[in-house]
């Protein structure tokens, strides 16, 4: 299949084809991959989406709907289809994908779709809907390849062939006992290469990584990444096999978590949709801006306190912006590195201490170098060496504070159970603004007046 980069030209072609007959439209869309059609759906109205979905074969239509982002509202599209077409698509979906989409629907629509489905499929989806969506249970697919530990090589191969008819792809074979308790894993290669008389119990690897159904999705992603797994089994409290989470599910989780962290880091609520309207954006961002405004008043009060100093030495007003801006940038650098370290792994007390010391050292050195540069500027441009020394001390001190707060604040917030990505940036900006102005104007009041 030809590969496409989705752009305005492709969207225009689709819109033009929508004005023509069904055959012309089908010929155009069949050249696109399901994931590309899903992206195109974000730019065309619901009625146009329905028309295209109804033209596609069921397997392709189900792939398109499973590839649609949550913000594109695949549940809304599915509900709007004719019942027969809708049922065919839902039954073609993997259980985990079907559960994700059906969970977004109104209760009445959920009930109608599940009632129309094959009873066994409906039971699987209902069970998956009982788990929180951000846990291993909410991510897992209950379709797995499993064999009994007491099976012979031939029995195991027969079971694998039989079960694989219902599964599109599988990477690991799980070994269970008569009660479905997970005993380990075995590779298809080991089974094929083993002697005819071998039993599965002779081949099983009992050293394996697993997660409980209530394990947070971020921890699941970390484990799959850490151990380079293609999938990870999900078990209940009694070690009974419930399902598996595959690496493609984890890619979606990592993208979701990274987006969430970036939004939080920028003071934007995780509830704001990237493609949402301006009303939602205002509701999401305004509270954080109001909070930031409050901290800005705190920094402003410092300037008001030293108003006589600023009035007498007007040139300080220009250097205040430099001190505050440099402090904020340095703190943001330290904050970004620290939050990334926290995200990748929980830091021990010693690692946390070393992180703060490192950022303190970096802040001190960077502050001294930048302070010296501004000191020379003040000496040659303003012909005032003492002013330059005041700026040097203020710059060095503020970047030192930036390093300490940029590393220390997120670590403290993490320890007390607050997400460091949410509040850190506002707190450290307050610190660098307030202490930067205090150092500059306080020293100027004592040394220059």
Predicted local distance difference test score (pLDDT) of residue 262: 64
**Is the predicted pLDDT of residue 308 greater than 80, yes or no?**
yes
Give the pair of three-digit tokens for residue 173.
Answer: 């074979």
In contact, 420 and 339? CB cutoff 8 Å: yes
Mean pLDDT of the chain: 87
**Is the predicted pLDDT of residue 261 greater than 80, yes or no?**
no
Looking at the fold, whether 409 and 300 belong to one and the same domain comes out as yes
Looking at the fold, whether 30 and 166 belong to one and the same domain comes out as no
**Is the predicted pLDDT of residue 301 greater than 50, yes or no?**
yes
Among 287, 250, 113, smallest CA distance to 171 is for 250
Looking at the fold, whether 284 and 432 belong to one and the same domain comes out as yes
Residue 255, domain member (yes or no): no
272 vs 440, more confident: 440
Looking at the fold, whether 93 and 155 belong to one and the same domain comes out as no
Residue 270, domain member (yes or no): no
Residue 284, domain member (yes or no): yes
Looking at the fold, whether 105 and 153 belong to one and the same domain comes out as no
Looking at the fold, whether 121 and 65 belong to one and the same domain comes out as yes
pLDDT mean over 239-261: 81
Looking at the fold, whether 123 and 161 belong to one and the same domain comes out as no
CATH code, domain with 17: 1.25.60.10
Among 130, 165, 192, where does a domain finish? 130
- The DSSP output letter for 200 is H
CA distances from 204 to 23, 234, 341 (A): 53, 18, 36
Looking at the fold, whether 149 and 198 belong to one and the same domain comes out as yes
Among 130, 160, 190, where does a domain finish? 130
SS3 content of the chain, % helix, strand, coil (to 5): 70, 10, 25
Residue 254, domain member (yes or no): no
Residue 351, domain member (yes or no): yes
Give the pair of three-digit tokens for residue 257.
Answer: 């978590």
Looking at the fold, whether 116 and 174 belong to one and the same domain comes out as no
Predicted local distance difference test score (pLDDT) of residue 1: 40
Distance between CA 65 and CA 1 in Å, rounded? Answer: 20
**Is the predicted pLDDT of residue 4 greater than 50, yes or no?**
no
**Is the predicted pLDDT of residue 258 greater than 80, yes or no?**
no
- The angle formed by the CA atoms of residues 141, 162 and 247, to the nearest 5 degrees, is 30
Predicted local distance difference test score (pLDDT) of residue 275: 55
Among 67, 75, 3, smallest CA distance to 37 is for 67
Looking at the fold, whether 60 and 196 belong to one and the same domain comes out as no
Among 221, 245, 269, where does a domain finish? 245
Range of the domain at 150: 145-245
Looking at the fold, whether 225 and 189 belong to one and the same domain comes out as yes
318 vs 285, more confident: 318
Using one digit for the tens of pLDDT, what is the confidence trace for 322-375?
Answer: 999 999 899 989 988 888 788 766 677 888 889 999 999 999 999 999 999 999
- The DSSP output letter for 132 is -
**Count of other CB atoms within 10 angstroms of residue 165:** 6
The pLDDT > 90 percentage for the chain reads 51
Residue 268, domain member (yes or no): no
Distance between CA 393 and CA 371 in Å, rounded? Answer: 7
Q: How many domains does the chain have?
A: 3
Residue 262, domain member (yes or no): no
pLDDT mean over 396-425: 86
In contact, 73 and 100? CB cutoff 8 Å: no
Residue 217, domain member (yes or no): yes
Looking at the fold, whether 294 and 360 belong to one and the same domain comes out as yes
Q: How confident is the model at residue 276 (pLDDT cuts 50, 70, 90)?
A: low
Task: Determine the distance from the C-alpha atom of residue 9 to the mean position of all C-alpha atoms in its chain, rounded to a whole number.
Answer: 30
Using one digit for the tens of pLDDT, what is the confidence trace for 42-95?
Answer: 888 889 899 999 999 999 999 999 988 877 889 999 999 998 999 999 989 988
CATH code, domain with 183: 3.10.580.10
Distance between CA 132 and CA 128 in Å, rounded? Answer: 9
Phi-psi region of 173 (alpha: psi -120 to 50; beta: other; left: phi over 0): beta
Q: Which residue's structure tokens are 């650098």? A: 333
Predicted local distance difference test score (pLDDT) of residue 24: 83
CATH code, domain with 438: 1.10.357.20
Using one digit for the tens of pLDDT, what is the confidence trace for 224-241?
Answer: 988 889 899 999 999 999
């Amino acid at each position: 299949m030809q590969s496409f980069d989705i752009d305005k030209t492709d969207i225009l072609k689709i819109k033009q084809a929508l004005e023509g007959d069904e055959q012309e439209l089908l010929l155009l869309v069949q050249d696109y991959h399901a994931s590309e059609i899903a992206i195109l759906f974000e730019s065309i109205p619901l009625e146009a989406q329905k028309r295209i979905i109804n033209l596609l074969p069921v397997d392709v239509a189900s792939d398109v709907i499973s590839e649609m982002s949550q913000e594109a509202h695949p549940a809304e599209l599915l509900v709007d289809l004719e019942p027969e077409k809708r049922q065919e698509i839902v039954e073609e979906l993997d259980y985990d994908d079907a559960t994700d989409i059906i969970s977004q629907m109104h209760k009445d629509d959920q009930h109608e779709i599940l009632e129309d489905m094959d009873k066994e499929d409906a039971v699987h989806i209902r069970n998956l809907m009982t788990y929180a969506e951000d846990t291993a249970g909410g991510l897992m697919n209950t379709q797995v390849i499993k064999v009994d530990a007491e099976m012979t090589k031939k029995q195991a191969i027969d079971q694998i062939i039989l079960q694989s008819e219902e599964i599109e792809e599988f990477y690991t074979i799980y070994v269970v006992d008569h009660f479905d308790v997970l005993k380990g894993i075995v590779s298809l290669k080991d089974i094929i290469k083993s002697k005819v008389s071998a039993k599965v119990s002779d081949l099983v690897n009992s050293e394996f990584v697993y997660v409980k159904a209530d394990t947070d999705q971020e921890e699941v992603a970390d484990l799959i990444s850490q151990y380079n797994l293609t999938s990870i089994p999900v078990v209940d409290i009694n070690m009974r096999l419930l399902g598996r989470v595959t690496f493609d599910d984890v890619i979606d989780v990592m993208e979701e978590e990274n987006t969430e962290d970036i939004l939080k880091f920028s003071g934007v609520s995780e509830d704001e949709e990237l493609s949402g309207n301006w009303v939602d954006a205002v509701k999401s961002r305004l509270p954080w801006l109001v909070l930031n405004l409050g901290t800005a008043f705190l920094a402003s009060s410092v300037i008001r306190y030293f108003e006589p100093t600023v009035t007498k030495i007007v040139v300080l007003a220009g250097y205040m912006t430099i001190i505050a801006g440099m402090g904020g940038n340095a703190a943001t650098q330290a904050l970004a590195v620290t939050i990334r370290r926290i995200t990748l792994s929980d830091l021990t007390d010693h690692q946390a201490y070393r992180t703060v010391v490192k950022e303190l050292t970096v802040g001190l050195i960077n502050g001294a170098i930048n302070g010296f540069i501004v000191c020379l500027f003040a000496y040659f441009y303003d012909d005032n060496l003492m002013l330059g020394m005041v700026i040097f001390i203020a710059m060095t001190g503020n970047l030192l504070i930036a390093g300490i707060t940029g590393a220390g604040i997120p670590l403290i917030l993490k320890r007390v159970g607050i997400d460091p990505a949410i509040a850190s940036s506002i707190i450290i900006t307050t610190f660098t603004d307030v202490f930067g102005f205090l150092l500059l104007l306080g020293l100027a009041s004592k040394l220059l007046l």
